[in-house]
Structure 1
Amino acid sequence: MSSRVHSNDKSTETAMSFSFGFSSNDFSDDELAESTSVAALGDASANGAANGQLGSALDDVQLVDDISIVQPAQHSLESLLRGLQGVRLSFETVASPETGTVLYRRELFDIKHQLMSSEGDKELDIIVNEDLKRNVYEGGLKSWECSLDLVDLLSARRTDLAAVSKVIEIGCGTALPTEYVFREYLLSNRKNGLTLVLTDYNFTVLQLASLPNMILTWAKETLDRDQWAMLQRSEDPTVPVMDNELLLTADLLQRFRESLAERHVTLDFVSGSWGRKFTDIVHSLLPQCEGTTAASLVLTSETIYQPENLPLITETLLDLKGYIGGPTTVLVAAKDIYFGVGGSVLDFEKRLDGLNVQYNTTKIQSGLKRSIVTI
């Protein structure tokens, strides 16, 4: 692994204190097939960012006027939990390739089964049967391998996580990186406060994948075996209790709420397309605290694959970093080249160069070349 540090037109080579080693087959069962039919969230103008004028893509009128684009919306934890009560989650453990960090993830077949059991509509049919559909489904039910790159990077720097008070994940999908930060917070028994904001184009993904994975992590890391069984049998003592399934009873979800409150953890969710309305919503969930030394993380993986969305995702990330202020780190994990699509890490770096943004690129040594850009 190598790392490059960029500051305007300067470039130097530095060595990092940790290493990565992946194969191109990691997470192949869930990795999205490369396709030319991937979705775009609106063709944002590239001119403003290229000229160093931040904001033109965020304010593109198409993001508001195009009726095919899902408009941003905030969702409370309570609103998502209402759709999960009584659901039995089937899940699996996922180990990150480099550090072997174990995370919990709801099974894809289980999500699709719940969707198919719902009253059908066009959107749900697309989500169940397709990998991607323009302005309808952005592939968030599947885990992308670069999200595990972020987990390994965070794990290698886990001693720094004690200072983190805010995490925003853009295009979170299964939210494995945020899940890792949440897990470390739980295991540390800290109660100094943690704000988590999970965002994805699809509300369905947030409710059926992102939040369930957070609940699974909380349950596996904080409940003993007696509590695991008791909370699932609170309504029916004959309910079977399994190691790889979790029944979301009213009592279990209430204990989840209480545990978050006791630990001063807040969970918020935002669906819909990026743009000015999106960033305004996220701003409202992140009250600025002047003089704080607490650190913040803005995480995203596999979101720079579409060239026409590059100005929009770039300006979204920089807007959030600028708004939060203080020691805020943006981590962008991606494949070096998205064959058949056109996006690349190099294009992202060029856009950052055009905006005079300092960044560091860590190259991951694997069969399928990938990188993590730190801003």
Structure 2
Amino acid sequence: MKPTIDYEAVFRAGQAPSLILTPDLVIVAANDAYLKVVGRTAEDLLGKPLFAAFPPNPGVPPDAGAQGADSLRASLEQVLTTWRRDFMPLQRYDVEAPGSPGVFEERYWSTVNTPVPGPHGEVRWIILSTEEVTDLVETLRRQPPADAEGGRAGEGGTPARDVDAFARGLQALNEELRQAHREQRETTSALREAIERQRRLVFEASHDLRNPITGLMIELECALSEPGIDLQRILRKSLCDAERLNDIVADLLDLARVDTESGELPAQTVDLAELVVDELNRRAPGSAVAVHTRLAPDVLVRASRIRLARLLGNLMANAERHACTKIEIHVSAAPPDAVLEVADDGPGIPPADRERVFERRYRRREARERDPGGSGLGLTIAREIAEMYGGTLCVADSPVGARLVLRLPLAS
């Protein structure tokens, strides 16, 4: 039979002065060693907020080293946030003399704060364990400095160490370490997310690439095995599959460039109206969808013309995929922004999907039906190019169809 352990008795008899705090920093337990070192009774402390039971000394300016309350609060908040034990440096935290409210005694402490997890992984309690080192600090203050011969100077000399300055230095260093740790965690988290995003992208893109490759292989096998087959039809089908492969690879390469080579292409002054005219002149003739434009002149932005052409091309391709009869392109100035709008008269985009359409690989059902082989990266690339040059790209309200609005800072 296992012996029953009285954990409350074990805590109460512990040699290290300790408190147990709730996540709201209310004292719920104090062991005998802690009550002895601070000169309090359990009734004085239990059920009280920590910083109400031990208020900071108002008579000592912050630059004199009385930063114990701020440092302790920061340490406890870090424990609650990170769920990790925090070791505090030597710190000054004055305590009111027993029975003399408002009369503070100068005290120094070395403290460790430890989280106690609850049943669901949350921080249920915090154990504050501390050691008083006031006597050590006073001893160091009384210690005379060493003379040039390695001996001791007279009692009237300068103290060997400025303990208050040393404590403040440790507090500052600890805060710098906390900040560096936070930044490292944020960087690691962002890197982990980027790796996972790239992994999903490669996995999903491999399926898109497999479809046209499989089509090509089937058509070529048929051409080789069946005599008298219509080679023109086979070649036309193979060309369509090759074009789809080219489109997917181009999207993947563009996305990789946006992610990793943001500074490679130099910015230049671009007239948005001229850009639209040039890109429309490149458009393949014979499209069933008419394009109407309203282009204000001299709407200038600073960006890579190549990337803006890619952005506009993606918006145009998206509009052509969904339009019924027409596409409208408007360019205007709305200081401090240049505005380019691409609208179609298709089914539109529901409000719930207006942000999701910019997610990598997300495609609405209508898009999959109209263009089963699409990569789902066109609008993602367009938005990332816009943000690269300090702009935005969003889906705006429209009485008919979808309206995508690009805003870029006007060139000065």
TM (norm. structure 1) is 0.19
Q: With CA pairs under 8 Å and 6+ residues apart, which has the higher RCO, 1 or 2?
A: 1
Report which of the two structures shows the higher radius of gyration computed on alpha carbons: 2
TM (norm. structure 2) is 0.18
Which has the larger share of helix?
Answer: 2
